[in-house]
Amino acid sequence: MAEHVQKPTEEKLKPKLFSVMKGYSTGQLVKDIVAGIIVAIIALPLSIALALASGVGPEQGLYTAIVAGFIVSFLGGSRVQIAGPTAAFATIVAGIVATEGMDGLIISTIMAGIIMVIMGFCRFGALLKYIPGTITTGFTFGIAVTILVGQIKDFLGLTFQNAPIETVDKLKEVALCIGTFNWQAALVGVISLAVLILWPKKLEKIPASLIAVIVGSALVKLTGMHVNTIGDLYTISSAPPHFTLPTDISFARIRALVPNAFTIAILAAVESLLSCVVSDGMIGSKHRSNMELIAQGAANIGSALFGGIPATGAIARTAANVKNGGRTPIAGMVHSIVVLIILVVLMPYASLIPMPTIAAILFIVAYNMCGWRNIRNTIRTAPKSDIAVMFVTLTFTVVFDLVVAIGVGLVMAALLFMKRMADVTEAHTWVDVSDIDDEDTDPDAIHLKKIPPRTRVYEINGPMFFAASDKYKYMLHDWDIDILCIRMRNVPAIDATGVEALKRIVLRCEKHGVQVIFSHVNEQPMHAMEKAGFIEKVGRENFCSHIDTALERATELASAKTAKAE
């Protein structure tokens, strides 16, 4: 029985592809191919737009969809996950490229991939759920804001005097350069935005982003508008992904890039597993979180080595895959192959895509990812401390960067959690019936028990850890007793500080001739005490499984002491 608990299905380190192929049919193959083609059409403009938002060339977004998408589908722990470049990485990648260059991005992404592979083999998949939802909501909204701000320049056709990296600096530059406003670019942007908003209401099967690209490109080409296109700003390449190694590798540089690598790894892991959870609900399946981490790690390593950028599970593309009949990893592999064919055959036409259209696509991406409904619900229902964590994470994401935001958010959430746990931890004693607040339905209520003379019963409620150590210090103040019974039925866990506090209580009791008895110590506290040698010090006979047994032990000790005195 224990073996089955330790090795549940989702913990198998086996790709889903190898599991689902046993009963694979021709009918499902047709559905997977159709779904893969549709997802590839959706991924094409998104991959280009996200690559440009990340400060790299348009083809590098497609490289990511091809290499990372194929590897995740082949090795992943989900039946329907579609991987590729996502908006969550846009600001991170842009910052790394601006400060460290492409070599810095490649090294950071490879290290992030290695970290994720290690996380998967160490079975850390389940641990990622301990990242508070308020932090995820905060930095997701913050990323959406940074993407939106970063696209104002292209949407309005502004000409910047400087090349700011930080979001706040970009806003300042927009204000300074508003005089360079290009009404033709703005018109193309507004028309593209209208297509993106209105098209899905009429014909959802054909991706709105593809229609926006076609309409925007045709408008600029046929009218001769003075609007920047991708071809004006970037050199377009239709070459397939090719193996690339960073040239500047040193220990000092690797050490400097470790924070970026951890940020990419954690964000990729969280977003990928979140996408898996969403898709599980859509198809009634269950993903293998640790195998998914390994696949995402391998995909990021592969993407970096073949000219791509960081990748993760894309929720919108995964949902499109499911809606169009994709039910196995074959669909994701078809998606990658189709994107490769498009890259080789049609990539030169990408030079015609107007930059305002790319900005409009990213505006919609930012809106879809911002999760404003989550923000609204959190404000309405969550405690003030959770709201504070969310807004601090959001603000730090916009003003500083994601590394700082996640670090500050996690520390703040941890401190507030510890405060909440400390607030619910208490130790109290029973002196007379007026002190009793046990429910009448509790058969173990202390007022129903006969307490021996010169015996004091203290009950500790809540976890005993360092933040709550001051809650039970007052047990040391009363020495007009012979026996101290410490009841721990409501102590689920204890840390080293809690054990040390109990040691101090026992030592002071010894000095004053008071015997300590413990009642109903739960499994984790008992294990911690045993490991610390505390049980041998107190005496195993003084650890009782129930309050009745503890009071019987107290009666024995009290009788023995009385007999000795006589």
Q: Do residues 532 and 427 lie in contact, with contact meaning Cβ atoms separated by under 8 Å?
A: no
Residues of the chain with pLDDT under 70: 1-11, 129, 204, 424, 426-448, 469-479, 565-566
Measure Cα distances from 548 to 295, 431, 455, 458 in Å.
55, 18, 14, 14
Q: DSSP strand E in 337-377: where? A: none
Q: Among 392, 415, 438, where does a domain finish?
A: 415
Return the structure tokens found at 500.
């040390």
**Amino acid letter, 439:** E
Q: Euclidean distance between the first and final Cα of the chain, in Å?
A: 56
Round to whole Å and give the CA distance between 44 and 66.
Answer: 10
**Contact of 266 with 331, CB cutoff 8 Å:** no
Q: Which residues pair with 354 in a beta bridge?
A: 229
Answer with the one of 383, 415, 447 that is the final residue of a domain: 415
Determine how many CB atoms are found less than 10 A away from the CB of residue 458: 19
Name the nearest CA neighbour of 36 among 347, 315, 339: 339
Range of the structural domain that residue 261 is part of: 14-144+152-159+166-234+243-415
Three-class DSSP labels, 16-61: HHHHHHHHCCHHHHHHHHHHHHHHHHHHHHHHHHHHHHCCCCHHHH
Side-by-side strand order, sheet with 515-519: 426-429, 455-461, 483-490, 515-519, 543-544
Q: What is the pLDDT of residues 183-214, one digit of tens each?
A: 999 999 999 999 999 988 777 677 888 899 99
User: For residues 339 and 241, what is the distance between their CA atoms, to the nearest angstrom?
Assistant: 11
**Domain termination site, one of 415, 437, 462:** 415
Q: How far apart are alpha carbons 562 and 566 in whole angstroms?
A: 6
Listed in sequence order, the residues at least 6 apart from 291 whose beta carbon sits closer than 8 Å to its beta carbon are 12, 13, 14, 15, 16, 75, 76, 77, 120
CA dist 17 → 13, 79, 83, 284 (Å) = 12, 7, 15, 17
Same structural domain, 411 and 454? no
Q: What is the pLDDT of residue 6?
A: 43
Task: DSSP letter for 80, please.
Answer: S
Question: Cα separation of 486 and 505, whole Å?
Answer: 10
Indicate the residue type of 51. Answer: A
CA distances from 154 to 28, 65, 144, 174, 348 (A): 43, 24, 16, 11, 21
What is the pTM for the complete model shown?
0.75
Same domain, 310 and 436: no
Please count the other Cβ atoms lying within 10 Å of the Cβ belonging to residue 266: 20
**526 and 454 fall within a common domain:** yes
Is 5 within the bounds of a domain?
no
d(CA 320, CA 318): 5
Establish if 1 belongs to a structural domain: no
Residues 401 and 501 in one domain: no
398 and 476 fall within a common domain: no
User: Is position 454 within any domain?
Assistant: yes
| Residues 113, 262 share a domain | yes
Return the structure tokens found at 307.
């000219």
**Is residue 2 domain-resident?**
no
My answer on whether 439 and 404 are in the same domain is no
CA distances (Å), 271 to each of 12, 82, 365, 371, in order?
21, 12, 15, 14
Residue 474 lies in a domain: yes
Asked, for residue 7, whether it belongs to a domain, the answer is: no
Neighbours of 357 (CB within 10 A): 33
Query: In terms of domains, do 248 and 127 share one?
Result: yes
Spatial distance between the Cα atoms of 205 and 371, rounded to a whole number of angstroms: 24
Q: Other CB atoms closer than 10 Å to residue 193's CB: what's the count? A: 19
Domain count of the chain? 2
Q: Residues 389, 73: contact at Cβ < 8 Å?
A: no
Contact 513, 487 (CB under 8 A): no
- CATH code, domain carrying 492: 3.30.750.24
The Cα 171–Cα 475 span in angstroms is 59
Does residue 75 lie in a domain region? yes
* H-type alpha helices, 54-89: 58-75
Same-domain pairing of 406 and 435: no
The reply to whether 371 and 480 lie within a common domain is no
Cβ(498)–Cβ(425) under 8 Å?
Answer: no
Say whether both 89 and 225 belong to one domain. Answer: yes
Q: Quick check: is 6 in a domain?
A: no
Same domain, residue pair 95 and 190: yes
Angle, helices 251-283/315-323, rounded to nearest 10 degrees: 30
With beta carbons less than 8 A apart as the criterion, state whether 44 and 349 touch. no
Rounded to 5°, the CA angle 370-318-72 comes to: 115
For 512-559, the pLDDT digits (tens) are 888 999 999 999 999 999 888 888 888 999 999 988 899 999 888 888
